[in-house]
Structure 1
Amino acid sequence: MAHTRSTLARFIFDNSLLLLAGTIAAVVWANLDLSSYDRLTHPLHFWVNDVGMVFFFALAAKEVFEATLPGGPLASPRHAMAPLTAAVGGMVAPALIYVALTSTVGPAELSRGWAIPCATDIAFSAMIARVIFPSGHPAIPFLLLLAIADDALGLMILAVFYPSGPLSVAALGMLMTAAVLAALWLKRRRVGSFWPYVLGPGSLSWAALYFGGFHPALALVPIVPFMPHSPRDLGLFDPRETVQVDTLNQFEHWWGTPVQFVLLLFGLANAGVPFEQVGPGTYFVLAGLLLGKPIGIMLFSGAARLAGASLPAGLHLADLVVIGITAAIGFTVSLFFATAAFPAGAALAETKMGALLSFSAAPLALIASRLLRQRAG
């Protein structure tokens, strides 16, 4: 049964405020008593990062998949070209800036974290965009589509570049084949409950990734498209989705609330960094996000226009600047990339702090918006 939500709960969940609460608690705790923080949160890492986050990435995969359905923003190549190209630019430029900094001013071991500044936190970025832009402004759906594409590319980066251990092609191939065949069988049998997909193919997929050396948090990503779904996409955050009864939407309705508590634990277990551990990795991540995101999004959006793509009506260059800064809030996926890239130590602590401080993009976006409006006026 889907979880019902009050207006307050919906606001808290839709804006990932439990994740923010867990993060703040972790930072305060780590700065007051780091030893007790490490001792008590270490056992959570496996259950949160490798098990609980399976459902977070599954919900992200659902939004990406639905965006490709008829009526979705990725269904039409002509409409999708500009935001997709902008998303690529918003990942390439941060990675290049990060790698350039690690190669020139080092230390070189930080280079493994090149993907950390590539991420955009869709929930927090959307929240800030709704504060900056009036309702109905084309910048909001443009940013959401950009963030969805960012999620899709981020899932691929995590799978390909950040294996969780020694790779075993045999284990991956056999178990993942079994998972896909099981999911296909369930789909052909028109199984309407999402539980068989999660417990059967989902478990096989998790085992395939875990024993194959890939990150098991992606276990449900290849299973999501097999769940019976609506023939059309209604749009991200569309209120009509709350009454959809297809299997895929039932999955989202049921897991939406538990995932928020998973994110609370994710923040609590992963975000505890003492302030004195700010270092080069912190600055490299921030440079990649705060400089690379807006630069990449603007340059690649311009390239898309030259290639024949059109920006949404009413979206101007000044809006792209603000969108680029807003998209620099990396946070959740940046934190996850950091934990995947580095073992416990200085590099992990420094890059985590960079992901946390990416929240500074929020006030910067607000300031940029006001300055650009004054200049336009």
Structure 2
Amino acid sequence: MYRVWKFLEDYSLLLVIGAAAALLWANVSPESYRAFVHLQLWENAPIGHLHIGAGGEAHRTLTFHYLVNDVLMALFFGMAGKEVWEAVALEGGSLRGRKALTPLIATGGGMLGPIVVYLLGAAVLGKFALLANGWAIPTATDIAFSYLVGRIVFGAGHPAVMFLLLLAIADDAAGLLVLAIFYPQGELAPVWLLASAGAALAAWALANRLPRALDRGHPDRPASAWVQRHLGFWPYLVAGAISWFAFQEAGIHPALGLLPVIPAIPHSDIEFGIFAADEAHETDLLNTIEHHLKTPVEFVLLLFGLANAGVEFTAMGGATWLVCAGLLLGKPLGISLLGALAARRFGLPEGMRLADLPVLGCVAAIGFTVALFVAGVAFPAGAVQDSAKMGALFSFAAALLAITAGRLARVERQTATED
């Protein structure tokens, strides 16, 4: 049983199970599915969907959908943000220095290509005004599933797998910025962001910086030891809650609300890379928190799939094909073209060929998790949103496309022992 659970956990198949269950439920009994997803848990709540009455009075309603997408998914984006932070900020981080330039430029192509294909397609269909706001949906790359397919196509020891991970991390970072800037969740009130920044700064100063200052001249570090033993993660939990609430009140998607607190948490100065086995042995607070969150986040992804992937097959429409075209056509083209231009100047990792770039672009075309999320905020609930979500689900076709492209490009699989 342990091995079965480990397989499910490592490859995020709980998300697939949730999405498959949602698809089945929505097509067998659509009314009961919608009633479940939009079930009201708390009327006049301090958090939830904001409603403005006829007289101007405002109140919030906490629904199951809001609980999953806006509250619990903050844990998922927090873990993604942790990987981005380590890759960018720590010495030796994978997105620092010249070695990251080719993947970073390829990431730009992997976002620009889908946007161009999507918007051009919307114009050709004569539905630009209706569908244009979904331009960011096909820019997403699902790290977990792309990593899995990348290992299948290239082998665990191929340098293209690390290239793919660097690209996916950079894509995540850009995606978080896109969500925050282009998809506000209400009237913007940026003054609330001062509360978010203040909470993060207070947690860093009181539970991180101050104990270190008090420990100067004391090799046994008594102040830091006391904070670690008696306070642990609690100051950062409080700061995270304040930051999350501030994002909600600021009109920015609250699922991003934990991101400002991540740099405040004590962390190792070593960056092993996403999915690195050695990271499991790190005992700093940031990695410890991530270790404890991994299993709960898997269940969150199960609920996310259940709450978002339930679309009827009759929902297929223009947005479906635009999202598919953006992912399956625009992303491989963008990564191949800009990646090749960057490789001429900055080179590719040793053992990786230009012919591997189109294959890698097909692997990165699996949007799924983040594409579903962006579809839910790009369009209001209804036929267009369901159509766009169907396109995100169809992005799994990129796995077959990548395997076929790998064979045509004569990719030589490399095991980890060949590194």
Q: Give 1:179 deviation, angstroms.
A: 1.8
Question: Any idea what SS the aligned residue of 2:174 has?
Answer: helix
Matched, 1:66 2:104: no
Which of 335, 342, 350 aligns to 1:297? It is 335
Aligned equivalent of 1:154:
175
Q: Give 1:264 deviation, angstroms.
A: 0.2
Question: Any idea what SS the aligned residue of 2:409 has?
Answer: helix
1:114-263 aligned within 5 A: 114-173=135-194, 175-185=195-205, 186-190=207-211, 191-192=227-228, 195-263=233-301
* Equivalent residue letter for 1:172: L
Aligned equivalent of 2:48:
none
* Equivalent residue letter for 1:208: A
Aligned equivalent of 2:407:
370
Q: Give 1:318 deviation, angstroms.
A: 2.1
Matched, 1:104 2:100: no
Q: Deviations over 1:46-102 (max 9, x none)?
A: 110111000000000111111122232112x21000001111110111011111111
Question: Any idea what SS the aligned residue of 1:262 has?
Answer: helix
Q: Give 1:189 deviation, angstroms.
A: 3.6
Bigger shift: residues 26-35 or 183-192? 183-192
What are the ranges of 5 or more consecutive residues in structure 1 without an aligned counterpart?
A: none
* Equivalent residue letter for 2:154: F
Q: Give 1:198 deviation, angstroms.
A: 4.0
> Do the aligned partners of 1:328 and 1:361 also contact (CA within 8 Å) in 2?
yes
Aligned equivalent of 1:332:
369
Matched, 1:351 2:388: yes
Aligned partners of 1:198, 1:288: CA distance in 2, in Å? Answer: 39
Q: Please give the TM-score of this superposition, normalised by the length of structure 1.
A: 0.94
Aligned partners of 1:369, 1:343: CA distance in 2, in Å? Answer: 38
Aligned partners of 2:232, 2:290: CA distance in 1, in Å? Answer: 10
Aligned equivalent of 1:28:
24
> Do the aligned partners of 1:194 and 1:251 also contact (CA within 8 Å) in 2?
no
Give 4+ residue runs of structure 1 displaced > 4 Å after superposition. none
Which of 259, 269, 275 aligns to 2:313? It is 275
Aligned partners of 1:221, 1:169: CA distance in 2, in Å? Answer: 16
Aligned partners of 1:18, 1:305: CA distance in 2, in Å? Answer: 37
What are the ranges of 5 or more consecutive residues in structure 2 without an aligned counterpart?
A: 40-63, 212-226, 413-419
Aligned partners of 1:106, 1:27: CA distance in 2, in Å? Answer: 29
> Do the aligned partners of 2:113 and 2:331 also contact (CA within 8 Å) in 1?
yes
Work out the number of aligned pairs and report it.
368
Aligned partners of 2:176, 2:153: CA distance in 1, in Å? Answer: 28
Q: Please give the TM-score of this superposition, normalised by the length of structure 2.
A: 0.85
* Equivalent residue letter for 2:75: F
- In structure 2, the CA distance between the partners of 1:137 and 1:199, relative to structure 1 (3 Å rule), is same
Aligned partners of 2:239, 2:411: CA distance in 1, in Å? Answer: 55
> Do the aligned partners of 1:182 and 1:200 also contact (CA within 8 Å) in 2?
no
Aligned equivalent of 2:352:
315
Q: Give 1:346 deviation, angstroms.
A: 1.1
Matched, 1:18 2:14: yes
Q: Give 1:238 deviation, angstroms.
A: 1.4
CA RMSD in angstroms comes to: 1.6
* Equivalent residue letter for 2:82: K
Question: Any idea what SS the aligned residue of 2:295 has?
Answer: helix
Q: Deviations over 1:25-66 (max 9, x none)?
A: 000110101000000112321110111000000000111111
Aligned equivalent of 1:38:
34
Matched, 1:342 2:379: yes
Bigger shift: residues 361-370 or 255-264? 361-370
Q: Give 1:222 deviation, angstroms.
A: 1.2
